[in-house]
Amino acid sequence: MELAITLDNRLAESLHRQLYEELRRAILAGRLKPGERVPSTRAMADSLGVSRATVTLSYEQLIAEGYLEAAIGSGTRVCVQLPDELLQSLPVKQLKAESFSLNGSKTPAIKLSAYGNYLDDSKPLEGIDPDLPISFKTGRPALEEFPMAEWRRLLLRHCRTSSARLLDYAPDMRGEPKLRAAICNYLGRSRAVRCSADQIIIINGSQQAIDLVTKILIERGDTVAVENPGYLGARRAFLAQGAKLVPIPVDESGIVVEKLESKAASQVKSVYVTPSHQFPTGTMLPLQRRLELLKWAERRGAVIIEDDYDSEFRFGSRPIPALQGLSEGKNVIYVGTFSKVLFPSLRIGYVVVPESLARVFTRARWIADRQTPTLEQLVLADFLNEGHLERHLRRMRTLYAKRRQALIRGLKLHFEDRVDVLGENAGMHLMVRLQTDFSDEDVVLRATEVGVGLLSARIYYLNDSRAGEFVFGYGGLSERRISEGIKRLGKALR
Ligand SMILES: Cc1ncc(COP(=O)(O)O)c(C=O)c1O
């Protein structure tokens, strides 16, 4: 029996619980058929590299719940008849793949594609409990500071002059020309991106850009290099497409470009990077490494996916030109978003593609979801052209610099020399290394118990994760709440 089971001993969940879950899901999804024999506890333990007791515990639980049955002399099998209450309590998502209907008669299971199977089987994304009073969640801007009155005024301006054009399908799938021109101008000025408005495609946030890039450029089995640690949203998109990931380490200056020359990376065709503010470490890739990366890509004929998600927020350091600008736009796809500078539910981002790729991107965009809403695009274009974005950014830079200082002050006060703040003076989150006797899981648990949400950085690593690293998003928290949160954390870890 061939069953792909992955257990991760870094997770808080015990191994026997993980194995129980994996087997249960395989039974419910019909990948383990009714009546089918499962391996003996010894064979399963050997193949997974865990103790026999771990397997026995999971099997016993599955037998107790009616998923498996043990027959004397013929080993353990999947129950032929699954209990009704079990099927009735299934979430809708699982019902689609069932091989039994609710009344017990067999119905054909809906077969998923490789893409669907990957998504169905992947672990849920770890997040912070939204009910916690103080959440150091990453990627959340200071939403209460958004100039809503200005936005409303611009919205009304367009609604008042409502025309059929505003409501109809857009004639140009690349996005509103006025917005593309405004973005082109903004990127040239602030990020040294060199492009014409024809190379800019408006999309629904940078995650959609990553998804489209993946579909257009990556074949099943291709090798993609990713920063380690790195952004999960990109990794998952590549994996769902069937790509193999090669983790490239990140040091205090960002991705270690020379590791792209290693044997493991010899087949790499694309690399995903966050050079302006590495996610999650917060490092900034120096000019020298940027040039090395570009040289490597040119030599290799590889594509660089440059995700510039929050580099507008820099507190002191000078910006380094985007890879896209340094490369003269040849083999770099530049991705940006308004999720952090304005608000995430706006769902407007942009991708700057080499001229030769503009057509295929526009067509992929059309297949995916046609267009971004016209009204919001026009409002955003005015917001940029009338200087509101620059004004808002200036205010937010000052605000985030203060919030960042409050966080660092709190950490130094409560952890003294047991804390190391990593990364550059930029962005809306920072990664820290805490020296404590508690495991990462216990740190998160103890924080939760005092109403503080934070994430261990382990989830961002493909391998080689280090204990004691945590990511603190501070954009959405006032200085007072930041100080209070760190005070509570300090006490909880004493
Ligand atoms: C590194 C990075 N890239 C991309 C995104 C996606 O942003 P959006 O799809 O909202 O534009 C995020 C979100 O937090 C991120 O952290």
Same domain, yes or no: 68 and 190: no
Closest CA to 454 of 439, 469, 436: 469
Q: Which residues contact 359 (CB under 8 A, 6 or more apart)?
A: none
**278 pLDDT exceeds 60?**
yes
Same domain, yes or no: 223 and 353: yes
Contact predicate 120/113, CB 8 Å: no
Strands of 157-243 (E only): list them: 200-203, 223-228
**483 pLDDT exceeds 60?**
yes
pTM of model > 0.85: no
Contact predicate 210/335, CB 8 Å: yes
With a 6 A CB cut-off, is 135 part of the ligand 1 pocket? no
pLDDT tens digits for range 32-66: 888 889 999 999 999 888 999 899 989 888 888 78
Give the pLDDT score at 99.
47
Give the pLDDT score at 95.
44
pLDDT tens digits for range 345-395: 999 999 999 999 999 999 999 999 999 999 999 999 999 999 999 999 999
Greatest C-alpha distance within the chain: 80
Same domain, yes or no: 446 and 356: no
- Give domain status of residue 294, yes or no: yes
- Give domain status of residue 218, yes or no: yes
**315 pLDDT exceeds 90?**
no
AA identity, residue 167: L
The mean pLDDT value for 131-149 works out to 96
Q: Decide which of 332, 351, 386 is a domain's last residue.
A: 386
Give the pLDDT score at 100.
44
Closest CA to 277 of 309, 235, 232, 318: 309
CATH value at residue 86:
1.10.10.10
Same domain, yes or no: 245 and 302: yes
Looking at per-residue pLDDT, the higher value among 448 and 125 belongs to: 448
- In the numeric block, which tokens belong to residue 327? 């490369």
Q: What distances in angstroms separate CA 141 from CA 42, 128, 357, 475, 477, one per listed residue?
A: 51, 16, 32, 5, 9
**151 pLDDT exceeds 90?**
yes
Same domain, yes or no: 172 and 285: yes
CATH value at residue 473:
3.90.1150.10
How many structural domains compose the chain? 3
Distance 309 CA to ligand 1 centre (A): 6
The mean pLDDT value for 275-284 works out to 95
- Give domain status of residue 10, yes or no: no
Distance 212 CA to ligand 1 centre (A): 14
With a 6 A CB cut-off, is 307 part of the ligand 1 pocket? yes
pLDDT tens digits for range 83-120: 544 544 444 444 444 444 445 455 568 999 999 999 99
Distance 206 CA to ligand 1 centre (A): 6
Same domain, yes or no: 368 and 462: no
The mean pLDDT value for 301-310 works out to 96
CATH value at residue 260:
3.40.640.10
- Give domain status of residue 486, yes or no: yes
- Give domain status of residue 2, yes or no: no
Q: Decide which of 364, 386, 408 is a domain's last residue.
A: 386
- In the numeric block, which tokens belong to residue 114? 């490789």
The mean pLDDT value for 312-316 works out to 86
Same domain, yes or no: 375 and 241: yes
- Give domain status of residue 119, yes or no: no
Structural domain boundaries enclosing 191: 162-386
Cβ atoms < 10 Å from Cβ of 425: 17
CA torsion through residues 127, 132, 136, 140, sign: positive
Q: What is the mean pLDDT of the chain?
A: 91
Give the pLDDT score at 2.
63
Give 324's pLDDT tier (boundaries 50, 70, 90).
Answer: very high
- Give domain status of residue 156, yes or no: no
Give the pLDDT score at 106.
53
With a 6 A CB cut-off, is 451 part of the ligand 1 pocket? no
Kind and range of the H or E element at 76?
Answer: strand 75-78
With a 6 A CB cut-off, is 276 part of the ligand 1 pocket? no
Q: Decide which of 363, 386, 409 is a domain's last residue.
A: 386
* Cβ-based burial of 325 (10 A; exposed 0-12, middle 13-18, buried ≥19): buried
pLDDT tens digits for range 216-252: 999 999 999 999 999 999 999 999 999 999 999 999 9
The mean pLDDT value for 440-467 works out to 94
Same domain, yes or no: 356 and 420: no
With a 6 A CB cut-off, is 349 part of the ligand 1 pocket? yes
Same domain, yes or no: 204 and 259: yes
Q: What percent of the chain has pLDDT over 90?
A: 74
Q: What is the DSSP string of 251-305?
A: ETTEE-GGGGGSGGGTTEEEEEE-TTS-TTT-----HHHHHHHHHHHHHHT-EEE
Q: What percent of the chain has pLDDT over 70?
A: 94
The mean pLDDT value for 151-169 works out to 92
Q: Where are the alpha helices (DSSP H) in 416-439?
A: none
Same domain, yes or no: 187 and 296: yes
Contact predicate 254/286, CB 8 Å: yes
The atom of ligand 1 lying closest to the CA of 209 is 9
Same domain, yes or no: 225 and 140: no
Looking at per-residue pLDDT, the higher value among 191 and 1 belongs to: 191
Q: Which residues contact 417 (CB under 8 A, 6 or more apart)?
A: none
Residue whose structure tokens are 């020359």: 261
Same domain, yes or no: 362 and 225: yes
With a 6 A CB cut-off, is 139 part of the ligand 1 pocket? yes
pLDDT tens digits for range 380-434: 999 999 999 999 999 999 999 999 999 999 999 999 999 999 988 889 999 999 9
- Give domain status of residue 122, yes or no: no
